[in-house]
Amino acid sequence: MSFLQFSNLTKTYPGVKALSGISFDVRKGAVHGLMGENGAGKSTLIRILSGDQHANEGEIRIDGDVQAYGSSRDAFEHGVIVIHQELQLVPELTVAENLYLGRFPARAGVVASAKMFADVTEKLKIAGIDIDPRRKVKTLSIGERQMVEIAKAVMLDARVIALDEPTSSLSSRESEILFTLIDRLRAEGKVILYVSHRLDEVFRLCDSLTVLRDGKLAAHHETLQGVTRDQIVAEMVGREINDIWGWRGREAGAVRLKVENVSGERLPEPASFDVRAGEIVGFFGLIGAGRSELMRLVFGADPQFSGVTSIDGVQVKAGSPRQAIRSGIVLCSEDRKHDGILQGRSIEENINVSSRRHYSPFGLLDRKREVEVAETFIKRLKVRTPSRKQDIVNLSGGNQQKVILGRWLAEQGVKILIVDEPTRGIDVGAKSEIYEILYELAESGMGIVVVSSELPEVMGICDRILVMCAGKIAAGLNRAQFEENAILAAALPDVKQPTEIAY
């Protein structure tokens, strides 16, 4: 019996129809998958469900009752909880305070802190989430913050829970904890709307599936029995994609980036590696292995305790992103929301923010040139937007990532491009487009560093893989040596590490 019903949902923004007559049902106690390319309408549908936005036409029914939310708090009070891909936590508050935000237990007007911490400790333990509730959120890793967000839904008596790319920042162990929680919630009769680009997870968890494309209903499957992965991909992108990776070999040139004994506060063990011109080097490891920390040291975003970074034999000033950029090193950060996009600014501004110094002498903006640059990279990267003037926060996560990539492609003289989780939250079609761009850049002589928690990704697109474990580079393999078990064994802290680094 249907419990959650979407009927003729239509949403129009200036210049674009985000949703067009979307209708489908979800039965009680089901995990329902929602898939589609970036810009297909998934995020818009979730925002309407959460009360953040309102449909121009259509309605949502829960257990037969029409839901007319005035706000996200209104939806929350009606038992609808949405865990967004971009986390909604207050960094300066503790885990417990975030979980009780807006509903603190109080006695005589004073927050009952002891009760709050005790309650959260118990609930986290039951959920299998090993995080100290007294820790401030700002001290947590991205993966730990994601688990705190998920804990919100577990702690509250929600009827409908929507999870938007919930495993994008989780380790395999944390993902398994999440899957166990989802199985439990399903058994309790909750409705789970599961938004993901990871087909393995969809087939592992989901009872039914809806696919959106260009704001329209592309397919609806009441059961996944007999449905194939290739079929879903074709429904998402409107065409078949036989080889998502599309790797092609190329000749590596001289060393472009040389990192020698670099260390910092969050990476105390010195690390050394190099990247050659035309080479794509992957960094793989479990969450907390030190991959992102090492890249931030190389880029100068965090201060170095020791070490030297050189580009084409010329030393780069440590601890200075400005100097790194001007030396030819750029970084697409793992944390897109806080370290990547300029929130509240247009796509045009986000693309031009770094490169405008090349064509705006004496601080006078060359508006014609800025328009040309923005339109060039919107078209080249296939950013789905009605206008270059669109606020970047209104784009899907994948399209935001494309804009950040466009910012650095617009920068002149880039020699090393570091992309940290470049396809997190990006659909299969957009992934293949981004990989093609990386190959083109490598073929032009640029050195590429790809940091990813997805092993198939680094094995699929990289020429060489460096494996990190517990803050150290534990192993290195060239393409002929790629073997999944060997890479995973090197990434696990309780397995003896190989010491030879392949170059």
pLDDT by residue (tens digit) across 392-451?
888 877 788 888 888 888 887 899 999 998 887 677 777 888 898 899 999 999 999 999
Look at residue 220 in the predicted model and tell me its pLDDT: 96
113 contacts: CB under 8 Å, gap ≥ 6: none
108 contacts: CB under 8 Å, gap ≥ 6: none
User: What 8-state DSSP symbol labels residue 180?
Assistant: H
Strand 216-221 relative to strand 329-332, pairing: unpaired
CA-to-CA distance for 89 and 139, rounded, in angstroms?
12
- % of the chain exceeding 90 in pLDDT: 41
- Unique residue bearing structure tokens 């993901």: 196
CA-to-CA distance for 238 and 254, rounded, in angstroms?
41
SS3 of 257-301: the string is EEEEEEEECCEEEEEEEEEECCCEEEEECCCCCCHHHHHHHHHCC
pLDDT by residue (tens digit) across 76-119?
888 898 888 767 788 888 998 888 876 666 555 556 678 888 88
Look at residue 500 in the predicted model and tell me its pLDDT: 44
For helices 428-443 and 229-237, what crossing angle results, to 10°?
80
Look at residue 206 in the predicted model and tell me its pLDDT: 96
Average pLDDT over residues 158-185: 84
Between 445 and 319, residue with greater pLDDT: 445
Look at residue 74 in the predicted model and tell me its pLDDT: 84
- Could you tell me if 140 and 148 are in contact, meaning their C-beta atoms sit under 8 angstroms apart? yes
Other residues' Cβ atoms within 10 Å of the Cβ of residue 1: 8
pTM: 0.65
Residue 16's nearest CA partner among 326, 357, 383, 430 is 383
Burial 284-323 (b: 16+ CB within 10 A, else e): bbbbbbbbbbbbbbbbbbbebeebebbbeeeebebeeeee
Average pLDDT over residues 220-237: 90
Q: Which helix (H) or strand (E) holds 256?
A: strand 255-264
Look at residue 410 in the predicted model and tell me its pLDDT: 86
- The fold of 255-491 is Rossmann fold (3.40.50)
Beta bridge partners of 220: 210
CA-to-CA distance for 369 and 50, rounded, in angstroms?
40
CATH number of 2-237: 3.40.50.300
Taken in order 15, 339, 244, 83, the sign of the CA dihedral is: negative
Q: Residue 355 to residues 139, 351, 401, 414: CA-CA distances in angstroms? A: 33, 8, 17, 11
499 contacts: CB under 8 Å, gap ≥ 6: 475
- Unique residue bearing structure tokens 């010491």: 499
CA-to-CA distance for 410 and 396, rounded, in angstroms?
21
User: What 8-state DSSP symbol labels residue 139?
Assistant: G
Average pLDDT value for the chain: 86
Instruction: Tell me how long the chain is.
Output: 503
CA-to-CA distance for 387 and 375, rounded, in angstroms?
9
- Could you tell me if 400 and 336 are in contact, meaning their C-beta atoms sit under 8 angstroms apart? yes
Is residue 52 predicted with pLDDT exceeding 60?
yes
The domain spans of the chain are: 2-237, 255-491
Look at residue 1 in the predicted model and tell me its pLDDT: 65
Phi, psi of 101 (to 5 degrees): -55, 125
User: What 8-state DSSP symbol labels residue 390?
Assistant: S
- % of the chain exceeding 70 in pLDDT: 93
pLDDT by residue (tens digit) across 451-474?
998 888 999 999 999 999 989 999
Look at residue 496 in the predicted model and tell me its pLDDT: 44
Burial 102-121 (b: 16+ CB within 10 A, else e): eeeeeeeeeeebeebbebbb
CA-to-CA distance for 292 and 264, rounded, in angstroms?
12
CA-to-CA distance for 36 and 233, rounded, in angstroms?
9
Is residue 328 predicted with pLDDT exceeding 80?
yes
**Sheet harboring 416-420: ordered strands across?**
329-332, 416-420, 447-451, 280-284, 464-469, 472-478
CA-to-CA distance for 351 and 340, rounded, in angstroms?
11
Look at residue 130 in the predicted model and tell me its pLDDT: 83
Helix (H, G, I), strand (E, B) or coil at 430: helix
| Encoded tokens for 336 | 């897109």
Helix (H, G, I), strand (E, B) or coil at 395: coil
CA-to-CA distance for 418 and 295, rounded, in angstroms?
8
Same fold, 2-237 and 255-491: yes
DSSP strand E in 351-415: where? Answer: none
Lowest mean pLDDT among 1-10, 49-58, 196-205, 230-239: 230-239
Is residue 498 predicted with pLDDT exceeding 60?
no
